[in-house]
Amino acid sequence: MTPPPEDLASEDAKIPAPASPDALRDAILSVAAGDADSFAGLYDATSARVHGLVLRVLRDPAQAEEVTQEVYLEVFRRAAGFDPARGSALAWILTLAHRRAVDRVRSSQSQSDRDVAYESRANTQEPDPTGEAALATLEAQRVRTALEQLSERQAEAIRLAYLDGLTQTQVADRLGIPLGTAKTRLRDGLLALRRIVSAPRQRKEE
Amino acid sequence: MAGKHPDPDEHEEMESLVVASVLDALDRRQQAEVDAHLATCPRCRTLEASLRETAVEISAGLESAPPARLRVSVLDAVRAEAAASSPTEARMRPSRRAVIGSALALAASAVVATGVVLSRPGRSEEDQEIARVLTAGDARLYSTTWESAQVTVVHSASSAASVIEVRGLPPAPRGRDYQIWSMSPAGPEDAGLLRPDADGRARLRIGSHAAGGTAVSLEPAGGSEQPTTSPFIAVTYS
């Protein structure tokens, strides 16, 4: 029997196990050195993270696909600018991805498309097509716990800013709070999240 | 914004801006101000790097595999780019560089022999244009500095062009590019991106019909149609 063609297999494409930070770093450095073949491995190891983030921000599968493609072309073109001393490969890639997704959200046409798409989904109560809940990993549970350890107000502000793509001014408007209060919640929230996610590692080092 | 903020209130304000920047929660103007500050403040850069790692965790658990057709499309596009002439020196393999080098030599000898350019592949044309500006009879040199960077601009009105050269310019912050503007009477005109190499050097020719000067600003990656931040390098031709 012949194996199914790739397109059919994609219907429930598997999420590969997360690659180690070192493997991702080496893959980007290889791409930067001119080895375009390393790019496939880099894509396979990170595309579920990139696409998942972009889809969450844009809430529109067609646009998420477009933006994900743009992100990977940018990763390829800018690979030579990646400096491992300045941070992890995943942080570098997701920074590019988040910025592109947010830029797309803030173009007005895209905003209205997104609202329409979101409205229709919210109204019909379709099952979550991305299966987010089913794909939750241990890592995510750690972070969910971490977000839960933030005050609900801090977590809400961070979700509105990072996952809904709002500016801090829009966060303040949405929540009906002064801008200064929104800024404080975002700052205290992200600083607290940093303490929470880095806590186990620090204990190990001690 | 200055590079130092010893005042605790000011530090807290800066911390808020760095957080908002990491979350992409600033408008373009605020973002540009933060980027300019980060370029001069190692302490805030360290904070930024650390918070970017934290931000990675916010979307952990949202994984969603893209359709297989996207993989095909992305890899095709990347292969096509890799096969086409390489956009950066850094990505160039030695064999390609040698080919371009000999093409340059060939073009140069063609000029010497006949006074006419017989063959002008892209890069040699750029180099020849630069040489023409630098050796023009009316070439004037302007220099300025920004932080650790030395900036030299040579303008030749008769060539309707300038050459900008920078040394010691740090890489643009993530997701940003330095963009050059030709300051014409009608307003700033896009004159390309300034991408310093690993040593912080870059040299670029600027077409500048009737331009009164050159400026460089920090813009979102890929550049803008019009400057969105105040130029941090500005040279006015006299």
d(CA B46, CA B194): 25
Phi–psi pair at B215, nearest 5 degrees = -140, 160
Spatial contact of B72 and A40, defined as CB atoms under 8 Å apart: no
Q: Cβ A69–B70 below 8 Å, yes or no?
A: yes
Cβ contacts of B69 on chain A, cutoff 8 Å: 7, 10
- The total number of structural domains in chain A stands at 2
What integer pLDDT is reported at residue A146 of this predicted model? 66
- For residue B154, the 8-state DSSP code is E
Instruction: Give the C-alpha separation, A81 to B174, whole Å.
Output: 9
Find chain B residues with C-beta within 8 A of A73's C-beta: 74, 77-78, 81
Taking 70 as the pLDDT cut, the residues of chain B under it are 1-6, 85-124
Per DSSP, A23 falls in state H
Q: Are residues A114 and A32 in the same domain?
A: yes
Same domain, A64 and A111: yes
Cα separation, A15 vs A44, in Å, equals 9
CA distances from A61 to A187, B65, B150 (A): 31, 11, 47
Does residue A29 sit in the same domain as residue A121?
Answer: yes
- CB contact (8 A) between residue B26 and residue A168: yes
- A192 in a structural domain: yes
Q: Strands across the sheet with B149-156, in order?
A: B140-146, B149-156, B161-167, B202-207
Q: Are residues A146 and A122 in the same domain?
A: no
pLDDT at A10: 40
* Residue A8 covered by a domain: no
The residue range of the domain holding A58 is 16-130
Domain ranges for chain B, please list them: 8-55, 96-135, 138-236
* CATH (domain of A85): 1.10.1740.10
pLDDT at B89: 37
Maximum Cα interatomic distance, chain B, rounded to a whole number of Å = 69
Are both A120 and A46 inside the same structural domain?
Answer: yes
> Which of B10, B22, B26, B59 is the best residue to mutate to test the A interface, defined by the most A CB atoms within 10 Å of its own CB?
B59
User: Out of B59, B70, B88, whose CB is closest to A94?
Assistant: B59
Structure confidence at residue A14 (pLDDT): 47
List, for chain A, all residue ranges whose pLDDT scores fall below the cut of 50.
Answer: 1-14, 109-110, 116-139, 201-206
Closest alpha carbon to B237 in B135, B138, B167, B128: B138
Query: Which residues on chain B are in Cβ contact (under 8 Å) with A171?
Result: 25
Residue B164 is predicted with a pLDDT of 87
Based on the fold, state whether residues A121 and A66 are members of the same structural domain. yes
Q: Which residue of A has its CA nearest to B62?
A: A52
Q: Minimal Cα distance from B79: which residue of A?
A: A36
Tokens of B139: 């070439």
B149, β-bridge pairs:
B146
CATH number of the domain enclosing A176? 1.10.10.10
Give the domain B138-236 fold.
Immunoglobulin-like (2.60.40)
User: How many angstroms separate the CA of residue B157 from the nearest CA in chain A?
Assistant: 35
The pLDDT mean for chain B works out to 77
Residue indicated by tokens 């029997």:
A1
Residue B58 tokens, joined: 């916010």
Q: B10 in helix, strand or coil? A: helix
